[in-house]
Amino acid sequence: MTAPTDVAARLTGRAVRAQRPLSGDLAEVTLDDGRVVVVKPSDGPGAARAEAAGLRWLAGAGAVRLPAVHGHEEGWLVIDRVPQGRPGREAAVRFGRDLAALHATGAPAFGAPPPDGPADAYIGLAPMRNEPGTDWPGWYAEQRVLPYLRRAVDQGTVRPGEATVVERLCERLPALAGPAEPPARLHGDLWNGNVLWAADGHVWLIDPAAHGGHRETDLAMLRLFGCPHLDQVLDGYQERTPLADGWQDRVGVHQLFPLLVHAVLFGRSYAEQALAAARSALAG
């Protein structure tokens, strides 16, 4: 098996001074020039390429902070380490402004992959297909919600009779989606674990599932899994680019996708949350 130190040396072109295991094959590696990089194993075919392309695409917006990519190969990705700090209110407001600026840089289409990124990508451990579309409600239903609903039904995580509530929501998405918006440049997997409060007083983002999407989806995921100082993040976001009226009522619609992904990966409790979100959106 390839060692993280070998990967770091090969992809950075530097000799390795030390290694510190983190979890599994994930490791921090200190190079001979003193820099510290993270060597990360990827979760499936093409995953390292997709993540590297996503990090570069998001960084190219010049809005949010992301670790530099040193290189990737099948099964491995090498990026800069982000020194950890503590969450703070000022950093949260600044992060909100930066996230709004990222979204505003846009994408060619809903579902557009990053340049040089594969169409077959990942969100966490789950495969995610980036198939471009021009209409958000139709694209969101066909490319994000229904594929994971079908997988959850096939696994038995969602019962066939329960799936109809999600299918009804997809049919009603044109009326539930709010005002039409252009495709935003999304992180795509913006849960709290991928938000790093760094020692430099800024927020850094890692592990993207980057694609063109609706900006409210990133914000809904932050709310779904918790984020320190979320109210301040939203204040900063609204200061930079106000959200459309009624966005609070659409949070559950945008949470449906990550909830169904989690139902496929982790089981019934997330399926129940997804069904509850769909019922609430339909009732509202």
In the chain, residues under CATH classification 3.90.1200.10 are 89-283
Mapping DSSP to helix (H, G, I), strand (E, B) and coil, where does residue 72 land?
strand
Question: Within 10 A of 55 (CB to CB), how many other CB atoms are there?
Answer: 24
Task: Give 191-196's long-range contacts (Cβ < 8 A, gap of 24+).
Answer: 191/221, 191/222, 191/224, 191/225, 191/258, 192/222, 192/225, 192/226, 192/227, 192/228, 193/225, 195/95, 195/222, 195/227, 196/82, 196/84
Distance from C-alpha of 215 to C-alpha of 190, rounded to nearest angstrom: 11
Q: What is the dihedral of CA 55, 56, 59, 61, to 10 degrees?
A: -120
Distance from C-alpha of 95 to C-alpha of 66, rounded to nearest angstrom: 12
Q: List, in order, residues 6 or more apart from 88 with CB less than 8 Å away.
A: 197, 201, 229
Among 6, 33, 154, 189, which one carries the catalytic annotation?
189
Question: Is there a catalytic annotation at residue 189?
Answer: yes
For the segment(s) 89-283, the CATH number from 3.40.718.10, 3.40.50.2300, 3.90.1200.10, 3.40.50.300 is: 3.90.1200.10
Sequential pLDDT tens for the chain (284 residues):
579 999 999 999 999 999 999 988 899 999 999 999 999 998 788 999 999 999 999 999 999 999 999 999 999 999 999 999 999 999 999 999 999 999 999 999 999 999 999 999 999 999 999 999 999 999 999 999 999 999 999 999 999 899 999 999 999 999 999 999 999 999 999 999 999 999 999 999 999 999 999 999 999 999 998 899 999 999 999 999 999 999 999 999 999 999 999 999 999 999 999 999 999 999 98
In the chain, residues under CATH classification 3.30.200.20 are 4-80
For the segment(s) 4-80, the CATH number from 3.10.450.50, 3.30.110.30, 2.40.30.260, 3.30.200.20 is: 3.30.200.20
Report pTM: 0.95
28 close to 36: Cβ distance less than 8 angstroms: yes
